[in-house]
Amino acid sequence: MLTLIFSLLLNIIRLYTWVVIISCVFSFLYAFGVLDTRSQMVWSIGRFLNRLTEPALRPIRSILPATGNMDFSPLVLLLLIQYLLTPLVRQLYYSLAFNSGF
């Protein structure tokens, strides 16, 4: 059961990583005029991706210095997920699964 829970958690983290990447690509396509800005579907997808990613990106944006028109907060978030969150979850799983005294 513990393996299933942590496997599900790691899959959710992996899925959120892809959501952040897709949101960045969507943002670039929207900004460069590739996507039709008047389309209701494009607007709905952009709003959905923004609602998923903005709560995690807002605190990072408040810490990072202003760099003009470039937003490095998705990059920082992806690095935090890759090098901090995922290893932390794996370490927690290994410590609970193999070092428990039960």
pLDDT at residue 98 greater than cutoff 90: no
Q: What count of Cα atoms within 13 Å lies in the side-chain half-sphere of residue 41?
A: 2
**Rounded average pLDDT over 70-74:** 93
CA gap 81, 7 in Å, rounded: 16
Amino acid at the residue 94? Y
CA gap 87, 56 in Å, rounded: 19
Cβ-proximal residues to 6 (8 Å cutoff; 6+ apart), any chain = 89, 90, 92, 93
pLDDT score, position 100:
64
User: pTM to 2 decimals?
Assistant: 0.89
**pLDDT by residue (tens digit) across 11-24?**
999 999 999 999 99
**pLDDT by residue (tens digit) across 15-62?**
999 999 999 999 999 999 999 989 999 999 999 999 999 999 999 999
| Domain limits, the chain | 1-99
